Amino acid sequence: MGYICTMFKIIFLLFICYILYKFVFNLVLPMYQTARQVRRQMGDIQDRMRQQYEQEQQYHQQQQPNNFSGQQQAKPKIDKGDYLDFEEVK
């Protein structure tokens, strides 16, 4: 009887080890790899967005002095000589 009990314990332990193996390699490891890949891709996207933002800021800083001098000189003066006051007719 002791031999059969020991054999069932060994079979049970092998079954538990198999279940743990399947759980780790079919669920835990793929989830870890996917999470790491997503984190890396999000970091890459953030880096690209930061670079693009910095490039736009540099472009706007280079264009800003030109725009201010052009706006100050190009403002047309409005002639108010042709303006007529509104008069209410009764």
Asked whether residue 77 is assigned to any structural domain, the reply reads no
Per-residue pLDDT, 87: 76
Cα–Cα distance, 41 to 84 (Å, whole number): 65
Asked whether residue 45 is assigned to any structural domain, the reply reads yes
Q: Which domain holds residue 36?
A: 28-58
Question: What tens-digit pLDDT sequence spans the chain (90 residues)?
Answer: 778 899 999 999 999 999 999 999 999 999 999 999 999 999 999 999 999 999 999 998 888 765 555 455 555 566 666 666 777 787
Per-residue pLDDT, 13: 97
Asked whether residue 86 is assigned to any structural domain, the reply reads no
Per-residue pLDDT, 77: 62
Indicate the number of domains in the chain.
Answer: 1
Asked whether residue 10 is assigned to any structural domain, the reply reads no
| Residues 20-38 as b or e (16 or more Cβ within 10 Å = b) | eeeeeeeeeeeeeeeeeee
State pTM to two decimals.
Answer: 0.52
